[in-house]
A and B are shown apart, each in its own frame.
Chain A
Amino acid sequence: MTSPPTPPNRDPGLQPERTRLAWRRTTLSSTVAAVLAVRAALHGGVNAEGIIICALCCALWLGFLAVAHRRITTLAAAGTPPPLTPRHATTAVLCTVAVAVCAAVLVY
């Protein structure tokens, strides 16, 4: 039995891959929230307020997607991945908070 050859700098914990998949899962969660938001906005018939909130939620979802995509690209690149920047983290969080604010407006 010979063990398969391992590249010299291989990280046995697969940390970048796991982090990439965590971003994927989070994107999926935000997609679910965005779909529910669109459904809520257009449920009671199409009106101006609903369309505005719908467009806003779609834009926020796209913003989140952009952040996740940039981070995933960074993590997929070879070499030691740089840590997440606070600006990215804050953008992701602000998108989430803004969706919640849209939801509160819709509920009322």
Chain B
Amino acid sequence: MIDFARNVRLWFAPQEISEEGGTPDYRFSLANERTFLAWLRTALALIGGGFAVDQFLPDLRWAWRVGLALALLAAGVLCSLRAVNHWVRCERAMRQGKDLPVSRFPALLSIAVAIVAVAMVIVVLAGWEG
């Protein structure tokens, strides 16, 4: 938790990162940046999905529609915050010559997306029968 608070401080403090360790090969930094952008796109896609559920499924019952939309939006927020946090952690690890941090976030996100997808299938099937 203390580590997390420290990372959050680093989000806003560019000069502190460059004080630690040595500068890695710029190609590694750029690869880290592209990974960050890929996660940010995932987050934007989840947010877009939240908008889409709200807009393009008007026949859905209110609770389901709002629940699914909010779940997707929350996943998008988590994903984007985690993107910048992971980017900072990787950048620090590269500067200090340590191993890159491991994370169980990809697995959690996959499971969450799978659950939402199954919920959508159930909702659509139940909607057709009802």
Contact = CB atoms under 8 A, between A and B. Distances in A.
A37 B47 CA distance: 10
Interface in A89-108: 89-90, 92-93, 96-97, 99-101, 103-104, 106-108
B51 A36 contact: yes
Interface in A22-51: 22-23, 25-26, 29-30, 32-33, 36-37, 39-40, 43
Contact of B30 (A15, A43, A104): A15
A39 to B, nearest CB: 7
Given A23-B37, A40-B55, A86-B10, A93 B30 contact: no
Interface size band for A: 35 or more
Contacts of A108: 66
Nearest to B85: A93
Contacts of A25: 37, 41
A97 to B, nearest CB: 5
Nearest to A21: B34
Contacts of A99: 47
Interface residues of B, dominant DSSP: helix
Interface stretch (B76-84, B102-110, B114-122): B76-84
Interface of B: 10-14, 17, 23, 26-27, 29-31, 33-34, 36-38, 40-41, 43-45, 47-48, 50-52, 54-55, 65-66, 69-70, 73-74, 76-77, 80-81, 83-84, 87-88, 91
Given A19-B33, A22-B38, A37-B51, 18 more contacts: A11-B27, A13-B27, A22-B37, A25-B37, A29-B48, A33-B48, A80-B26, A82-B26, A83-B29, A89-B84, A92-B84, A96-B44, A97-B80, A100-B50, A100-B80, A103-B50, A103-B51, A107-B69
